[in-house]
Amino acid sequence: MSDLSLPARSRRSLSLHDKKVRGIFYQVLLAGSLLALALGIGIQTASNMRARGIPLSFDFWNESAGFDINQTLIPYDTLSTYGQAFWVGVVNTLYVSFLAILLATLLGFVVGIARLSQNWVVSKVATSYVEVVRNVPLLLQLLFWYNAVLKPLPPPKSSIAIPGGIYLNNRGLIIPEIQLHPGAGLVGLAFAAAVFCSIAFWFYAKRVQRGTGKQLPVFLVSLAALAGFPLVMFLAAGEPVSFITPHLRGFNFQGGHQLYPEFAALLIGLSVYTGSYIAEIVRSGIQAVPKGQTEAAYALGLSPGKTLRLVIVPQALRIIIPPLTSQYLNLTKNSSLAVFIGYPDLVQIFAGTVLNQTGAAVQVMAITLSVYLAISIVTSMAMNAFNQHSAIVER
Amino acid sequence: MRSILKCLIAVAMACTASSAWSATIDNVKKNGMLTCGTNSATAGFSLPNNEGKWTGFVVDYCRAVAAAVLGDAQKVKFIPLTPKDRFTALQSGEIDILAHNATWTSSRDTSLGILFAGTYFYDGQGFMVRQADNVTSAKGLDGASICVTQGTTTELNLADYFRSQSIKYTTVGFADEEAVVKAYEEGRCDVLSADTSTLNASRLRMAKPGDSVVLPELISKEPLGPAVRQGDDQWFNVAKWTLYVMVAAEELGVTSKNIDAMKSSDNPNIRRLLGVEGGIGKDIGLGDNWPVQVIKQVGNYGEVFDRNVGKDSPLKMERGMNALWNKGGIQYAPPIR
């Protein structure tokens, strides 16, 4: 540079030759251009839409939707508004994603650990699962579960009856409906008390172990409390819970809860598919923990199970969590494939029927994109917090 | 940096330029091709045949428009659309005209930025059930699972009908018409509900057509018609009058076979229709013989009906409401003059 000979401090004026000023100048320029571009596109879209007579407002939100949705977790009927239909879609998407994340994580951890098993059969079964599932497109898997596994089930009239008033047919899995009578709240209260006691006992056991080295049977005691407290209260309150068993009337079963095949296919498909990726993440995470850690744990006399639980997994988690986050985000976004098997998720209800019914394509797509963005950001933030929690604490 | 700025300016200008768009008829003439949105697979209405050539009732309407504008009924590019996507495709300019089994309703006419240009098929919504279920009326459908296509008036009519009858039901909806029929065939639903024309067409393609029956009730009015974008009156007229010319030709007894002989007819109405005297081409932006091209290459309304869905087709549908107004139906063309 030409001004190397001058002391930097003597140049007081704002000049593009100043590295700092130049940096700021270009950043402002870039941000401004991007903003102008976004604004330009927005204004242009709006004027094009006006020119073509496409509705621009969000007035449709409070208009009556007039169509039915077969699976809703929140109140909805044909007289509800498009806005309520939107929320039904959001809740359905969150519901299936949440359950699928739980199942996929469980499956992934089991299979990932199984792949490292000394047992030849177990490790080969796990490997084949990963290789087969990971290499087939998700959409095909969903269509497989829906069309090849669940739809060929018998029709309602020849349902497969499972003891306990459960029926399985091509309309889904129908289970008895739980009916609560007065006093049922006490059972719930007993359960809450059991949870509280278990946690308290866990803390107590930890303190005992720290003081004396003695280990208390935390798992067994918690299990006994969680099962026993509600059971005792259930009997004491005069069995305040009853079941409405489903029965076949006309075309379908009446009474009882129904788990639809569309939902089941999506849940199974997403869990099995994402599970295979998580299995690989878990396997690589465990293998990344130095072998010396295992050897040290064995040398201290820890059993293989305890070594895995107390030494390997906590260290592997640090490696596992960041890629696991991506898988959770992928799973949530993949749930939009529901459209192909008729599960009423956000895309099917809102970006499908509502968009078509109202013609407000730009607004509806913008809202749908924002929802997925928001879900992803919240998931990321939660996982980052968990990652920080499990990171190495420097002492 | 300067090159980035240039890029940005270029993009911004490209966006602005796209707002000035020319009339549809000029675009079609310039491209030498009509882009027409149709059903993806509805027998009798829009379906590729064994040679991969599109055939059907709405397909023939598109060919008629191409014959009118370009003088060649083969210059059509067909874009198969699901009911869910069809209006967006028209709004965004992906297609020039929508010839779908789309029902003309007030809200679609006023809030989607599109206009329906007439009714080429008067239909009504019905129910198809399995014979083995012994149902004779829609009132016996309590608790049934009903398969429907998403984004159709079918979905809305169902909700209205069953609410007014206080009958409980569940819908199973798919975006794709074929998936809906498949779900019914495989027993996922007890009932298939759609316009009766579609029901009949779907039954024809089932493995066992005899196992299903269509219930007598029609629960709605479904006038199916072509649609164009709002704000292009000339193109709207082309779409509207192509249809009327076909209806008028049937009324006047002009067919694709006798059209050359008809040109020497003494009937002033026929002479005007065929452009022999006082033709109707100039003001609409077409040549005076455009009705001749339509009738000669595609046929009159009756010929198109019989060939695709009527007595000469496997569907064997009655003319019913779609007969001419003077033959017991309601198909009626305003005077061509």
Minimal C-alpha gap between A96 and chain B (Å): 18
What angle is formed at CA A212 by the lines to CA A210 and CA A217, rounded to 5 degrees? 80
Q: Which residues of B touch A68 (CB under 8 A)?
A: 155, 158-159, 169-171
Rounded alpha-carbon distances, angstroms, from residue A149 to A141, A170, A340, B116, B281: 11, 10, 16, 43, 59
CATH of the domain at B185: 3.40.190.10
Q: How confident is the model at residue A55 (pLDDT cuts 50, 70, 90)?
A: confident
Minimal C-alpha gap between A280 and chain B (Å): 34
- pLDDT above 90: residue A140: yes
pLDDT number for residue A362: 87
Minimal C-alpha gap between A340 and chain B (Å): 7
CA nearest to A342, candidates B101, B151, B86, B212: B151
Tokens matching residue B101: 């089994």
Q: A386-395, B190-199, B211-220, B287-296: lowest mean pLDDT where? A: A386-395
Interchain contact, A252 vs B144, CB within 8 Å = yes
Interchain contact, B175 vs A54, CB within 8 Å = no
Domain count, chain B: 1
- Helices of type H across B74-176: 86-91, 106-111, 153-164
pLDDT number for residue B134: 87
- pLDDT above 80: residue A392: no
Higher pLDDT, A200 or A6: A200
3-state secondary structure of B83: coil
Strand A166-169 relative to strand A247-249, pairing: unpaired
pLDDT number for residue A7: 52
Q: Which residues of B touch A29 (CB under 8 A)?
A: 1
Mutate to test the interface with A, among B170, B171, B235 (most CBs of A within 10 A): B170
Of B12, B91, B150, the CB nearest to A352: B150
Strand A252-254 relative to strand A247-249, pairing: antiparallel
Residue that is written with structure tokens 């806005």 in the block: A83
| Residues 6+ away with beta carbon under 8 Å from B324 | B247, B250, B251, B302, B331, B332
Minimal C-alpha gap between B231 and chain A (Å): 7
ipTM for the whole complex: 0.78
Buried b (16+ CB within 10 A) or exposed e, A216-251: eebeebbeebbeebbeebbeebeebeeeebbeeebb
Minimal C-alpha gap between B154 and chain A (Å): 9
Q: Are A115 and A123 in contact (CB under 8 A)?
A: yes
Q: Are B41 and B83 in contact (CB under 8 A)?
A: no
Q: Which residues of A touch B19 (CB under 8 A)?
A: 44, 47-48, 51
Q: Is B275 contained in some domain?
A: no
CA B96 – CA B28 distance, rounded (Å): 8
Q: How confident is the model at residue B337 (pLDDT cuts 50, 70, 90)?
A: confident
Q: Are B336 and B248 in contact (CB under 8 A)?
A: yes
3-state secondary structure of A67: coil
Of B15, B144, B175, the CB nearest to A339: B175
A346-384, pLDDT tens digit by residue?
999 999 889 888 888 889 999 999 999 999 999 999 988
Q: Which residues of B touch A53 (CB under 8 A)?
A: 113-114, 229-231
CA A112 – CA A109 distance, rounded (Å): 5
Tokens matching residue A259: 């788990």
Q: Are A342 and B173 in contact (CB under 8 A)?
A: yes
B45: Cα within 13 Å, side-chain hemisphere? 27
Of B159, B169, B187, the CB nearest to A66: B159
Bridge partners (DSSP) listed for residue B79: B37
Q: Please provide the average confidence, as pLDDT, over all residues in chain B.
A: 88
Instruction: Express as a percent the part of chain B with pLDDT over 70.
Output: 93
Mean pLDDT along residues B96-125:
92
In the chain, the amino acid numbered B94 is E
Minimal C-alpha gap between A387 and chain B (Å): 38
Q: Please provide the average confidence, as pLDDT, over all residues in chain A.
A: 88
In terms of Cβ atoms closer than 10 Å to its own Cβ (0-12, 13-18, 19+), residue A111 is buried
- Expressed in angstroms, the distance from the first to the final Cα of chain B is 64
Mean pLDDT along residues B34-42:
91
Mean pLDDT along residues B181-208:
90
Tokens matching residue B248: 């008028």
pLDDT number for residue A395: 65
Q: Are B186 and B180 in contact (CB under 8 A)?
A: no
Which backbone phi and psi does A61 adopt, to 5 degrees? Answer: -50, -40
Rounded alpha-carbon distances, angstroms, from residue A30 to A36, A297, B315: 10, 54, 63
A301-317, pLDDT tens digit by residue?
999 888 988 899 889 98
Sign of the four-CA dihedral B71, B73, B79, B84: positive
Q: Does an H or E element contain B127, and which?
A: strand B125-130
3-state secondary structure of B126: strand
CA B314 – CA B316 distance, rounded (Å): 6
Q: How confident is the model at residue A13 (pLDDT cuts 50, 70, 90)?
A: low
Neighbours of B258 (CB within 10 A): 12
Q: Which residues of B touch A340 (CB under 8 A)?
A: 179
Q: How confident is the model at residue A393 (pLDDT cuts 50, 70, 90)?
A: confident
Mean pLDDT along residues B68-79:
95
Of A51, A67, A170, the CB nearest to B187: A170
- Helices of type H across A52-119: 82-115
Tokens matching residue A25: 């100048």
Interchain contact, B1 vs A26, CB within 8 Å = yes
B158: phi > 0 → left, psi -120 to 50 → alpha, else beta; which?
alpha
Neighbours of A150 (CB within 10 A): 23
Bridge partners (DSSP) listed for residue B128: B192, B214
A270-329, pLDDT tens digit by residue?
999 999 999 999 999 999 999 999 999 999 999 988 898 889 988 998 899 999 999 999
Interchain contact, A353 vs B151, CB within 8 Å = yes
Tokens matching residue A209: 């172990």
pLDDT number for residue B8: 47
Interchain contact, A151 vs B112, CB within 8 Å = no
Q: Is B336 contained in some domain?
A: no
pLDDT number for residue B290: 93
Minimal C-alpha gap between A141 and chain B (Å): 16
In terms of Cβ atoms closer than 10 Å to its own Cβ (0-12, 13-18, 19+), residue A27 is exposed
pLDDT number for residue B22: 62
Q: Are A338 and B174 in contact (CB under 8 A)?
A: no
Q: A243-247, B67-71, B326-330: lowest mean pLDDT where? A: A243-247
CA nearest to A64, candidates A48, A46, A44, A85: A85
pLDDT number for residue A378: 94
Minimal C-alpha gap between B143 and chain A (Å): 6
Q: Which residues of B touch A69 (CB under 8 A)?
A: 171
Q: Is B279 contained in some domain?
A: no
| Residues 6+ away with beta carbon under 8 Å from B53 | none
In terms of Cβ atoms closer than 10 Å to its own Cβ (0-12, 13-18, 19+), residue A132 is exposed
B13-26, pLDDT tens digit by residue?
444 444 334 689 99
**Structural domain of B207:** 124-221
- B110 → chain A, closest CA residue: A53
Q: Which residues of A touch B160 (CB under 8 A)?
A: 66, 78
pLDDT number for residue A12: 57
B249-294, pLDDT tens digit by residue?
999 999 999 999 998 999 999 999 998 887 788 888 898 889 999 9
Of B16, B113, B145, the CB nearest to A171: B145
Interchain contact, A54 vs B163, CB within 8 Å = no
Mean pLDDT along residues B191-219:
89
pTM: 0.82
Q: Is B196 contained in some domain?
A: yes
pLDDT number for residue A276: 96
CA B24 – CA B97 distance, rounded (Å): 9
3-state secondary structure of B170: strand
- pLDDT above 50: residue A212: yes
Of A171, A262, A352, the CB nearest to B151: A352
Sign of the four-CA dihedral B19, B22, B23, B27: negative
Bridge partners (DSSP) listed for residue A261: none
Sign of the four-CA dihedral A207, A209, A213, A215: positive
Q: Are A83 and B184 in contact (CB under 8 A)?
A: no
Neighbours of B71 (CB within 10 A): 16
DSSP letter, residue A216: P
In terms of Cβ atoms closer than 10 Å to its own Cβ (0-12, 13-18, 19+), residue A83 is middle
